Amino acid sequence: MKTRTVEIFVGLFLLAGILSLVMLAFQVSGLANIIGRNGYEIQANFDNIGDLRIHAPVSIGGVRVGEVASIQLNPSTFKAVVTMHIDPNQNAIPTDSSASIFTEGLLGSNYISLSPGFSNTNLKNGDKIQTTHSALILENLIGQLMYKIGSGNDNSTSSNSSSSNSKPTSEITK
């Protein structure tokens, strides 16, 4: 009967809506990465996190292994405490790994890159990464550059800037 056709069309309509929601959830917003939250959390203190936001990716060698879960300020040390959520299958990150905040491209958003260390023990839930490199603030860099140009090629400052230059190079190799 005609009611039957109507019912079939409405059923297909509902199905299409639900499928779209599933597509938006998994394909578009990557909910799959969040749903299986049975991984573990590690922390790291940074002097300056720059533009880092919650949900920013955490990667090792450019491969996404987790995301930033929360950002807080330690009221006594005035350092930013960043909690990272690491995927459960990435359970062999050495305890002496270091964390750095980098920028995707010149104007992109910030993310955390972990550089694995050589220890035999691995990071567990609640562990803290000791070695951290703060975000590279473009304004500070330009300021230093201007200062360097203004003061003439002074040797004492060049050694200082070369150490800070090591960060941008490692970033480009990403």
Partner 1 sequence: MIESIASLGRWGLDGLEGLGRATVFLLRTLIRRPRFIKSFPLLIREIYSVGVLSLLIILVSGLFIGMVLGLQGYHTLEKFSATQQLGQLIALSVVRELGPVVTALLFAGRAGSALTAEIGLMKATEQLTSMEMIGVDPLWRIISPRFWAGFISMPLLMLIFSAIAIYGGYLVGVSWLGVDGGSFWSNMQAGVNFHEDVLNGVIKSIVFGGVVTWIAVFQGYDCVPTAEGISRATTKSVVYASLAVLGLDFVLTTMMLGGW
Binding residues for partner 1 (CB under 8 A): 3, 6-7, 9-10, 12-14, 16-17, 19-21, 23-25, 27-31, 33-34, 55, 57, 64, 105, 107-108
**79 vs 114, beta carbon nearer partner 1:** 114
In the complex, minimum distance from the CB of residue 52 to partner 1, in angstroms, rounded to a whole number: 13
For residue 163, the minimal CB distance to partner 1 (Å) is: 29
In terms of phi and psi (left: phi > 0; alpha: psi -120 to 50; beta: otherwise), the region of 68 is beta
CB 68, min distance to partner 1, A: 11
**Cβ at position 43, least distance to partner 1 in Å:** 22
Nearer to partner 1, 14 or 73 (CB): 14
What angle is formed at CA 95 by the lines to CA 100 and CA 66, rounded to 5 degrees? Answer: 55
Q: Which is nearer to partner 1, 34 or 138 (CB)?
A: 34
DSSP codes of every residue in 133-170? E----HHHHHHHHHHHHHT-S-HHHHHHHHHHHHHHHH
170 in Cβ contact with 100 (< 8 Å): yes
Report the C-alpha gap between 123 and 142 in whole angstroms: 36
Nearer to partner 1, 17 or 143 (CB): 17
Which uninterrupted H or E stretch holds 3? Answer: helix 2-23
